[in-house]
Chain A
Amino acid sequence: MFNMKKQQQAEPLASVVSDAAVRADNITKNYGEGEAEVRALCTVSMEVGYGEFVAVMGPSGSGKSTLMHLLAGLDRPSNGNVYIEGDNVTTMKDNELTMLRRKRVGFIFQAFNLIPQLTAEENIVLPLMLAREKANGNLESILDQVGLTDRRTHKPTELSGGQQQRVAVARALITQPAVVFADEPTGNLDSKSSDDILSLLRNAADERNQTTVMVTHDAHAASYADRVVFLADGKIVRELSEPTEASVLEAIKEVAAL
Chain B
Amino acid sequence: MTKVALKGLGLHKARAVLTTLAVVIGVAMISGAYVVSDTMLSAANSLSGSAYDNTDAVVTKHQAFSTGSDTVGTAVTVKPDVLQKVRSLPQVAAATGDVTEQAKLIDKKGKVIGSGPYFAVGLDPVNGKNLTPFKLTQGHFATTSSEVVVDKGTADKQHYKLGDQIKVSAIGPVKSYTIVGITKWGSVDNFGTATAAIFTLPEAQAMFHKGNAYNSILVGARSGVSPEQLRATLKTQLGSDVTIQSAKKQDRFTLDGLTSFVKIIRGILVGFGMVSIFVGAFIIFNTLSITVAQRIRELAMLRTVGASRRQVMRSVVGEAAVMGVLGRSSAFCSASPSPRVCRRS
Please give the distance in Å from A179's CB to the nearest CB on chain B.
13
Say which residue of A102, A117, A122 sits within 8 Å of B305 (CB atoms). A102
Task: Determine if A246 is an interface residue (Cβ-Cβ < 8 Å).
Answer: no
Task: Determine if B223 is an interface residue (Cβ-Cβ < 8 Å).
Answer: no
Q: Is the CB of B305 within 8 A of A171?
A: yes
Q: A113-B297, A115-B298, A117-B11 are in contact. Are A107 and B308 (CB under 8 A)?
A: no
- Chain B residues within 8 Å of A102, by CB: 305-307
Q: A117-B11, A118-B4, A129-B3 are in contact. Are A98 and B304 (CB under 8 A)?
A: no
Task: Determine if B114 is an interface residue (Cβ-Cβ < 8 Å).
Answer: no
Q: Interface of chain A, helix or strand or loop or mixed? A: helix
Q: Which of A145-188 contact B (CB under 8 A)?
A: 171, 175
Considering the chains assembled together, what is the distance between the CA atoms of A175 and B305 in angstroms?
10
Please give the distance in Å from B16's CB to the nearest CB on chain A.
12
- Chain A residues within 8 Å of B297, by CB: 113
Please give the distance in Å from B95's CB to the nearest CB on chain A.
79
Task: Determine if B238 is an interface residue (Cβ-Cβ < 8 Å).
Answer: no
Interface size on A, residues (CB 8 A): 23
Considering the chains assembled together, what is the distance between the CA atoms of A127 and B1 in angstroms?
10
Please give the distance in Å from B197's CB to the nearest CB on chain A.
66
Task: Determine if A103 is an interface residue (Cβ-Cβ < 8 Å).
Answer: yes
Q: Is the CB of A130 within 8 A of B301?
A: no
Considering the chains assembled together, what is the distance between the CA atoms of A28 and B44 in angstroms?
79
Q: Is the CB of A117 within 8 A of B309?
A: no
Q: Which of B1-48 contact A (CB under 8 A)?
A: 1, 3-4, 7-8, 10-11
Task: Determine if A116 is an interface residue (Cβ-Cβ < 8 Å).
Answer: yes
Task: Determine if B311 is an interface residue (Cβ-Cβ < 8 Å).
Answer: yes
Q: Is the CB of B309 within 8 A of A107?
A: no
A-B residue pairs in contact (CB < 8 Å), sample of 18? A94-B309, A95-B308, A98-B303, A98-B307, A98-B308, A102-B305, A102-B306, A107-B304, A109-B301, A115-B4, A117-B7, A117-B10, A117-B11, A127-B305, A129-B1, A130-B302, A130-B305, A130-B306
